[in-house]
Structure 1
Amino acid sequence: MPALPDDAIDQIFREARTFRWWEDRPLAPETLRAIADLAKLGPTSANSSPGRFVFVVSADAKEKLRPHLDEGNVRQTMSAPATAIVAYDTEFYEKLGFLAPNSPDAPSWFAGKPKAIEETAFRNSSLQGAYLILAARALGVDCGPMSGFDRKGVDAAFFPDGRIKSNFLINLGYGLREKLHPRQPRFSFDEFCRIA
């Protein structure tokens, strides 16, 4: 498989930034669908796909989210065209018959094993949230991923049956580049990697 051209890598990684200020420009539902359709293709353990995304777009949904945001995240979230709640299904293993047909015993790896469920669901929904960021950037949409919210409050507001639990949030839209500060430092290869 050939490497992506430099301008594509720039868009997804080198020039991409975390945005907190947004253009007053909506995100079309088709764009959100296209982002999710790309993100779902990323690998997860046993193709378990425990991630669940809620795209908070309407004024009513934003107001439902507002009281659960840390104070410092209210402005950027309320002004974003969309906010993805990246969450995970604690009963994801019930779908493994469909998602992992080559492993017919896969549901038994998780059923009745809360530690395995939580560890797998949280890890893989985190991966799926990262895929969502990369998919959005690839389609020209800027992202502002964040913690800084009350998970229990968001879960009660958006997932009241208790089956789905929130992981983190991603604001989505078209970022105001003039509001960016210089990119913060990153480690050199030798500071965070080694080849064994």
Structure 2
Amino acid sequence: MTQTHDSLTDFEAQFADHLELSPEAQDLLFRAARTANAFTDEPVSEEQVRAIYDLVKWAPTSMNNQPLRIVLVRSPEARGRLVEQMSGNNKAKTSTAPLVAVLAADTDFHDELGKVFPHFEGARDLFAGNDEMREGSALLNATLQVAYFILGVRAAGLAAGPMTGFDAAGVDREFFPDGAHRTIAVVNIGRPAEGAWMDRLPRLDYDEVVTAV
């Protein structure tokens, strides 16, 4: 049965007391937050991005793998190269956003494992000899980190416009010429402009997703 917005809000409110986050924080991160398609011209500072990363870096990954790599596209020259790789309407959105971040998985992340997993001496060797396992782990954990990054942008009071509509191989060539990175998402970041949101789309209900055994 289709639920109206008001009935869905009332339904969700019944469970608000079971969460530690305040209702305002829940709305900021999840219920009221949406993918932004238009932004004001207010710039996004280096300090804001550092605060976002310094928050989301603590989120969990398997074996504390840290494969996410972020390129902040700030110069007009780099922006132009990125826009050429975007698809359809994503070209216009990417060309006008205050800040654009390219988020990729570093398939050589194991070279840094000694820094983030110092108590496991064989961590690097575990991945070094298995390219398939290493790349799979890089993509899985970097994708988790992309999701955390989007939530971090929201936590900073900004809006995120994550996109996967682009020529991934082209973005890799332009911004990661070493061949060791796989672009996962391009994220526009800024203050949302009027009309930035599309209507909220439905989600599957609890009983459609969760079973107990």
Task: Please say whether Structure 1 and Structure 2 have the same fold, judged by a TM-score greater than 0.5.
Answer: yes
Aligned to 1:174: 191
Q: Which runs of 4+ in 1 moved over 3 A?
A: none
Aligned to 1:41: 58
Aligned to 1:121: 138
Percent identity reads 39
| Bigger Rg over Cα | 2
Contact 2:38 2:195 in 1 (8 A): no
Alignment partner of 2:108 out of 51, 68, 91: 91
Provide the secondary structure at the position in 2 that maps to 1:68: coil
Aligned to 1:22: 39
Alignment partner of 1:103 out of 117, 120, 132: 120
User: Given residue 122 of structure 1, which amino acid in structure 2 is its aligned partner?
Assistant: L
Q: Trace 1:184-195 onto structure 2 (pairs within 5 A).
A: 184-195=201-212
Residues 82-116 of structure 1: CA distance to partner in whole angstroms, max 9, x if unpaired? 11111011111111111101211111221121110
Aligned to 1:13: 30
- TM-fit CA distance, 1:192: 2.1
Measure, in 2, the Cα distance between the counterparts of 1:47 and 1:179.
35
Aligned to 2:171: 154
Measure, in 2, the Cα distance between the counterparts of 1:94 and 1:107.
6
Residues 97-152 of structure 1: CA distance to partner in whole angstroms, max 9, x if unpaired? 11101211111221121110111000000011111011110110101111000111
126-135 or 163-172: bigger deviation: 163-172
Alignment partner of 1:164 out of 143, 162, 181: 181
TM-score (norm 2): 0.87
Aligned to 1:76: 93
Query: CA separation of 1:148/1:95 partners in 2, compared to 1, >3 Å: closer, same or farther?
Result: same
- TM-fit CA distance, 1:177: 4.2
Give the aligned CA root-mean-square deviation in angstroms: 1.3
52-61 or 8-17: bigger deviation: 52-61
Measure, in 2, the Cα distance between the counterparts of 1:37 and 1:100.
18
Residues 48-93 of structure 1: CA distance to partner in whole angstroms, max 9, x if unpaired? 1011011112212111101100022111111111111110111111
- TM-fit CA distance, 1:193: 2.2
Measure, in 2, the Cα distance between the counterparts of 1:192 and 1:177.
34
Q: Trace 1:51-66 onto structure 2 (pairs within 5 A).
A: 51-66=68-83
Q: How many residue pairs align between the two structures?
A: 195
Residues 3-28 of structure 1: CA distance to partner in whole angstroms, max 9, x if unpaired? 12110111011110111111111101
TM-score (norm 1): 0.95
Runs of 5+ in structure 2 lacking a partner? 1-18
User: Given residue 33 of structure 1, which amino acid in structure 2 is its aligned partner?
Assistant: R
Measure, in 2, the Cα distance between the counterparts of 1:41 and 1:176.
30
Measure, in 2, the Cα distance between the counterparts of 1:21 and 1:117.
37
- TM-fit CA distance, 1:170: 1.2
